[in-house]
């Protein structure tokens, strides 16, 4: 059996790859594994279960709730809320497990199951591996030890989750947003109610788009993966800025008043400077990934802020932050983690903090984002190659060295093996887009020739 858990839970086409039986079995296995690990010791276990508005989330939620309750876990069903809300409530309510049903920015036919441990933190790899093992053992015949009578879990709708999460968001803001006009693109997703409510309570004038989920339209030509509608809406409404989320609202991208996109690196740069000024940027350090734009690194050096870079993936950013005690980290894609207030990327919190910086300084978002100059970045995927040889091929090494000499200090080259496909990703940054395209194309040709 291939590994079920990816970098962000278990995902697949709902009712094909991700079935009700799989969701139920994984939930029972998770309950047993966490019980074995001592998580439930001395008390009756509780779980928080939430979902995004995908149609398939309805039957998958029912399966997860049934699985947990059949394993003796009491369930607080919070309904449609963002992933970071489920993580927050898992910690705030002292629950032993959190479960979120979402495929984030993926198209509607997909769905996913993501587990959180006590405190609202992602499960460690070894626990995910153990859940897979236990699930497979019981799927192939070993019977579960099932409680009966009063031992079965009880299921309760926790309707206070919405207000409790919004109050948390408002409570951690450094200042109000009075006087700001903000357009919010909710991707017809999990934050369609939460995000407009939070911005409005914080004092902003709010215009919403993509905030009418019907179970089928999540991420459909809107949200952080399709920014055109938001760019147009910000200009049309004369707004100060726009905020875009993905389906489960753990991401945030932005648009300035002129309709220009502000990516995750720029948002991180703005927040890093703000937190450093407030004395909240521990060790004057921000965490990014190897895909962080070179302009971000240059800007942080100029501001006296140290940049730590990890492998691509918000879980690796979070691991570095927790291990070293850093307060801020994130990815170019808009996953931003403010560890003092969230255990995972929180798109609504990120958008609120960005807007709060605009309100506090009286500066435009374009001016604030100008702290860094984003260098043109070109990414070329080279398919059907032997990716295992990318680090040992002398032809590839020579081509990379030549490219780096040509770029000098104004650009860089990064070759990455795909984690799931037989392809190599060639990323080139340069002072201008034409140079980046030319160098990326040349390197892609060498990779195809040498490794094909």
Q: At what angle do helices 161-171 and 194-201 cross, to 10 degrees?
A: 40
pTM: 0.91
Q: Are residues 355 and 388 in the same domain?
A: no
* Spatial strand order in the sheet of 110-116: 10-13, 110-116, 97-101, 46-51, 74-80, 155-157
Listed range (195-204, 303-312, 416-425) with the worst mean pLDDT:
416-425
Residue 140 has pLDDT above 90, yes or no: no
pLDDT grade for 452, boundaries at 50, 70 and 90:
confident
Residue 212 has pLDDT above 70, yes or no: yes
Run of H or E including 289: strand 285-289
Q: How far apart are CA 50 and CA 61, in angstroms?
A: 8
Residues 101-139 have pLDDT tens digits of 999 999 999 999 999 999 999 998 899 999 999 999 988
Looking at 317, 340, 369, the residue that finishes a domain is 369
Residue 5 has pLDDT above 90, yes or no: no
In a domain, 2, yes or no: no
Q: Are residues 334 and 382 in the same domain?
A: no
Looking at 369, 389, 423, the residue that finishes a domain is 369
Residue 420 has pLDDT above 80, yes or no: no
pLDDT grade for 416, boundaries at 50, 70 and 90:
confident
In a domain, 5, yes or no: no
- Are the C-beta atoms of residues 418 and 295 closer than 8 Å to each other? no
What is the distance in angstroms between the CA of the first residue and the CA of the last residue of the chain?
A: 28
Calculate the average pLDDT of the chain.
Answer: 94
What's the mean pLDDT in 293-301? 94
Q: Are residues 288 and 401 in the same domain?
A: no
Residue 246 marked ligand-binding? yes
Residue 142 has pLDDT above 80, yes or no: no
Q: Are residues 63 and 79 in the same domain?
A: yes
**Domain coverage including residue 293:** 163-369
What's the mean pLDDT in 405-415? 89
- Are the C-beta atoms of residues 354 and 270 closer than 8 Å to each other? yes
* CATH number of the domain within which 341 lies: 3.40.120.10
In a domain, 272, yes or no: yes
Query: Which of residues 355 and 314 earns the better pLDDT score?
Result: 355
Q: Is 178 exposed, middle or buried (0-12, 13-18, 19+ CB in 10 A)?
A: exposed
What's the mean pLDDT in 92-99? 97
Residue 421 has pLDDT above 80, yes or no: no
Q: Are residues 214 and 363 in the same domain?
A: yes
Residue 41 has pLDDT above 90, yes or no: no
pLDDT grade for 25, boundaries at 50, 70 and 90:
very high
Listed range (124-128, 269-273, 303-307, 346-350) with the worst mean pLDDT:
124-128
In a domain, 312, yes or no: yes
What's the mean pLDDT in 291-319? 93
Q: Are residues 122 and 138 in the same domain?
A: yes
Listed range (268-272, 361-365, 447-451) with the worst mean pLDDT:
447-451
Q: Are residues 347 and 261 in the same domain?
A: yes
Structure tokens at 333: 């894609």
In a domain, 437, yes or no: yes
Q: Are residues 429 and 361 in the same domain?
A: no
Q: What pLDDT does 72 receive?
A: 97
Structure tokens at 424: 């190599």
Number of domains comprising the chain: 3
Pairing relationship of beta strands 97-101 and 46-51 according to DSSP bridges: parallel
In a domain, 111, yes or no: yes
* CATH number of the domain within which 385 lies: 3.30.310.50
In a domain, 1, yes or no: no
Residue 1 has pLDDT above 60, yes or no: no
Q: Are residues 152 and 208 in the same domain?
A: no
What's the mean pLDDT in 337-352? 97
Query: Which of residues 139 and 71 earns the better pLDDT score?
Result: 71
> What is each CA distance from 323 to 144, 286, 317, in whole angstroms?
36, 13, 10
Q: How far apart are CA 393 and CA 400, in angstroms?
A: 11
| Three-state SS at 17 | coil
Q: Are residues 384 and 402 in the same domain?
A: yes
What's the mean pLDDT in 39-60? 95
Structure tokens at 150: 């009063």
Looking at 369, 395, 416, the residue that finishes a domain is 369
Q: Are residues 142 and 192 in the same domain?
A: no
| pLDDT > 70: percent of the chain | 99
Residue 102 marked ligand-binding? no
Residues 241-288 have pLDDT tens digits of 999 999 999 999 999 999 999 999 999 999 999 999 999 999 999 999
One DSSP character per residue, 243-284 reads EE--TTS---EEEETTS-EE-HHHHHHHHHHHHHHTT-SGGG
- Are the C-beta atoms of residues 343 and 267 closer than 8 Å to each other? no
Q: Read off the DSSP letter of residue 135.
A: H
Q: What pLDDT does 2 receive?
A: 55
User: Which candidate, 339, 349, 170, places its Cα nearest to that of 245?
Assistant: 349
In a domain, 154, yes or no: yes
Which residues are identified as catalytic? 104
Residue 418 marked ligand-binding? no
Q: How far apart are CA 86 and CA 44, in angstroms?
A: 20
Q: Are residues 180 and 154 in the same domain?
A: no
| Three-state SS at 169 | helix
């Amino acid at each position: 059996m291939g590994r079920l858990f990816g970098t962000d839970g278990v995902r697949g086409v709902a009712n094909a790859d991700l079935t009700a039986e799989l969701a139920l079995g994984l939930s029972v296995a998770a309950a047993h594994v966490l019980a074995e690990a001592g998580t439930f010791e001395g008390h009756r276990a509780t779980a928080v279960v939430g979902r995004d508005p995908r149609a398939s989330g309805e039957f998958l939620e029912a399966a997860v709730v049934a699985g947990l309750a059949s394993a003796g876990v009491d369930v607080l069903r919070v309904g449609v809320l963002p992933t970071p809300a489920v993580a927050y409530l898992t910690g705030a309510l002292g629950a032993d497990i959190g479960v979120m049903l979402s495929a984030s920015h993926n198209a509607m036919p997909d769905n996913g199951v993501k587990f959180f441990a006590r405190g609202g933190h992602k499960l460690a790899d070894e626990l995910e591996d153990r859940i897979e093992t236990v699930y497979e053992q019981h799927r192939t015949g070993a019977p579960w030890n099932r409680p009966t009578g009063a031992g079965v879990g009880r299921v309760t709708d926790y309707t206070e989750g919405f207000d409790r999460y919004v109050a948390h968001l408002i409570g951690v803001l450094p200042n109000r947003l009075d006087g700001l006009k903000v357009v919010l693109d909710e991707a017809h997703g999990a934050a369609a109610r939460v995000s407009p409510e939070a911005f409005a309570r914080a004092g902003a004038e709010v215009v919403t788009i993509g905030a009418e989920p019907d179970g089928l339209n999540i991420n459909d030509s809107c949200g952080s993966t399709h920014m055109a509608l938001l760019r147009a809406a910000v200009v049309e409404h004369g707004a100060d800025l726009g905020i875009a989320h993905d389906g489960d609202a753990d991401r945030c991208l932005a648009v300035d008043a002129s309709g220009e996109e502000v990516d995750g690196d720029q948002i991180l740069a703005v927040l890093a400077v703000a937190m450093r000024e407030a004395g909240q940027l521990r060790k004057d350090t921000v965490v990014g990934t190897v895909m962080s734009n070179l302009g971000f690194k240059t800007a942080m050096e100029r501001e006296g802020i140290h940049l730590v870079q990890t492998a691509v993936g918000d879980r690796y950013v979070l691991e570095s932050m927790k291990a070293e005690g850093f307060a801020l980290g994130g990815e170019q894609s808009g996953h931003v983690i403010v560890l003092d207030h969230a255990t995972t990327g929180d798109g609504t919190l990120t958008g609120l903090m960005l807007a709060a910086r605009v309100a506090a300084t009286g500066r435009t978002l374009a001016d604030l984002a100008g702290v860094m100059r984003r260098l043109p970045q070109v990414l070329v995927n080279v398919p059907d190659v032997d990716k295992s040889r990318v680090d040992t091929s002398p032809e590839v090494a020579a081509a990379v060295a030549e490219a780096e000499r040509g770029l000098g200090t104004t650009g860089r080259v990064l070759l990455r093996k795909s984690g799931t496909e037989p392809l190599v990703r060639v990323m080139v940054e340069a002072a201008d887009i034409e140079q980046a395209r030319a160098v990326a194309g040349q390197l892609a040709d060498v990779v195809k020739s040498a490794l094909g």
